[in-house]
Amino acid sequence: MAKIVPLLDERQLRTLSSRAEADVYKQCLPLWGDDTLVVFSMPWIRVGAYGQPRDGETDFVIFSQHHGMLTIEVKGGGVEFEPESGTWASVDRHHKRHRIKDPFEQAKREKYALRDFLREQAAWRKLGLRPTIGHAVLFPDLADASSLQGPSRPGPIIGVRQDVSRLSAWLEDVFGFWAGDQPTIGVGHEGLKVWIVCSANQSKSSRCCHCSSTKKNKNEFD
């Protein structure tokens, strides 16, 4: 069973505002065993290009000894994308549309926030790690998300309803995409220990990740 932070029981999961996130949370528990850490609803603060702090929250971070790191946005309900205007909307059960942020841009920003936070940690820098790092978006209520694909939204980083029940296999596919032609590179035992300490400190103090980079590289810790 994967280690998950924070550890929520059934009663607490029922109180979550997002049923989709609760469903994904449950599927994270059996992932890969104790060589995997899942952080749910991780807050962060990132300093933008003009020095202005922006706060945010990552739905799920997967931290694997063998595969690397992923930031995942989860969007429940119906989701639509309007190519002409570049706008996104969620569709509720009453078929009412609500404008939302681009979930792929959110996941990408969160990936860089995570990368930059770790770069600031002396224990992490000492390890000299260059793990596979990527982002993905999961739509638990959609059977088909092909209409949402685009140049910055390739199919391999998009998950749908059937991928929730096969979460481990889907995550391996996502890690494989970000690794490209090379094998995935994990964080190893020591890297996982560093992040567990960071997560524990964050949980105790309710502090966020403070990040300053605006670099837009595709993947690694360059």
Which tens digits make up the pLDDT trace of 143-161? 999 999 999 999 999 999 9
pLDDT > 60? residue 203? no
**Residue 101 backbone dihedrals phi, psi, to 5 degrees:** -75, 155
Query: What is the model's pLDDT at position 5?
Result: 86
Query: What is the model's pLDDT at position 213?
Result: 35
200 pLDDT band, cuts 50/70/90, is low
Q: Structural domains in the chain?
A: 3-75+107-211 (3.40.1350)
Query: What is the model's pLDDT at position 55?
Result: 65
- In which residue are the tokens 């994904």 written? 24
pLDDT > 80? residue 21? yes
Q: Between the CA of residue 105 and those of 101, 112, 184, 220, what are the distances in Å?
A: 8, 11, 23, 17
209 pLDDT band, cuts 50/70/90, is very low
What's at 122, amino acid-wise? A
Q: Between the CA of residue 126 and those of 4, 62, 112, 121, what are the distances in Å?
A: 25, 21, 19, 9
What predicted TM-score, i.e. pTM, was given to this entire model? 0.84
Assess contact for 212 and 46: CB atoms under 8 A. Answer: yes
Listed range (20-24, 118-122, 193-197) with the worst mean pLDDT = 193-197
Assess contact for 124 and 191: CB atoms under 8 A. Answer: yes
44 vs 81, residue with greater confidence: 81
pLDDT > 80? residue 204? no
Q: Which residues contact 151 (CB under 8 A, 6 or more apart)?
A: none
